[in-house]
Amino acid sequence: MTALLTLAETEPGLQTVLLGTARVASYLGLVLLVGTSFFMTWLWPEGRTVRTFSRLLVAGAVLTVTASLAVPLLAHGFARDSFGGREGACALARIGLVALAGAFGSDVVRSARSWRVPITLWQLALVQTYVLASNAVGGPWEVVKVVATTGHLVATAAWLGGLVTLASVLVPSTDLKPLHAVLPRFSLVAIVSVVTLFVSGTLHALAVAGGVRPLLRTDYGVALGLKVLVVVLMLLLGDRGRRYAEQVGRRKLTELDDSAPPESVQAFAVAIGAELALGLGVLAATAALVHVAPT
């Protein structure tokens, strides 16, 4: 990593690419940390001892800390005061929150239900380190932008993080019973998340661009359009995959059990995998929006 940062210091083009990659990694870390902890405490606390949860959280922590160190350096040309501004301060606060989670992680695993409120407050604090470092702060309609960005990031983490957890923990399992209880809960979360994404995304985009016409005439509007297209594709693909899995299994997904044909579970897993692949596209588009946002 040090060699890449040193090379990027002398190559502006590479520096831009690395900055975009670091931002995507940062958002992915947020999705893993917030999405997995939300899933573990609210959707399936009974499965909190499954080791995959810990692996996902560790992966999220590594991505978040690494990206939080890299982004300010890359964004400010490796200046000595890279961590002195608002974005740098938020990055350091983010790293501190990750360290705090690591200190209490074992206690949370032992009793996820009793830690729901502290974990929710921690999740919101982590999200705010991204919000306060973004273009939501400053300029006209600041309150609207801050609220919209907060809702947008929370919805993204809950939806994509839930998909990651389903793909990593429940779908590969030989015991399909947890799916009966978890899928209806996650479906409700996904619906609320999608509605929140569209509403908050529209409000934020209009506030940042300054209206409909400026939005349509800028690179920011193009990047936003691509992001919306990817989200729509995710919805269509997810719906089609679930319908196919139900058709093969001859039952609703919430009724899948050990007697269901293996093809139905496989179809469901493939649909989730495809949604996750498009989800990476959503995160990439989000990073691009930060880069081309009007100033």
pLDDT along the chain (295 residues), means of 10: 55 78 94 94 84 91 96 83 90 96 81 86 97 90 93 93 84 68 85 90 86 81 83 80 63 60 67 76 75 62
Alpha carbon distance 284, 186 (integer Å): 24
pLDDT at residue 157, as a whole number: 94
For residues 190 and 165, the answer to whether their CB atoms sit within 8 Å is no
- Which residues, at least 6 apart from 43, have a Cβ–Cβ distance to it below 8 Å? 162, 182, 185, 186, 189
Other C-beta atoms closer than 10 Å to the C-beta of 239 total 11
* 241 and 268 Cβ atoms separated by less than 8 Å: yes
CB-CB contact of 293 with 220 (8 Å): yes
Element housing 35 (H / E): none
Neighbours of 247 (CB within 10 A): 11
* Predicted local distance difference test score (pLDDT) of residue 10: 56
pLDDT at 89: 94
Q: What is the pLDDT of residue 241?
A: 65
Note the pLDDT of residue 107. 77
Helix 51-75 to helix 86-110 angle (10° resolution) is: 170
- The DSSP code sequence of 282-295 is HHHHHHHHHHH---
pTM: 0.86
User: Which residues touch 6 (CB under 8 Å, ≥6 apart)?
Assistant: none
- Give burial (CB, 10 Å; 0-12/13-18/19+) of 138: exposed
Burial of 258 (0-12, 13-18, 19+ CB in 10 A): exposed
User: What is the predicted pLDDT for the residue at 50?
Assistant: 80
Which pLDDT value is given to residue 238? 74
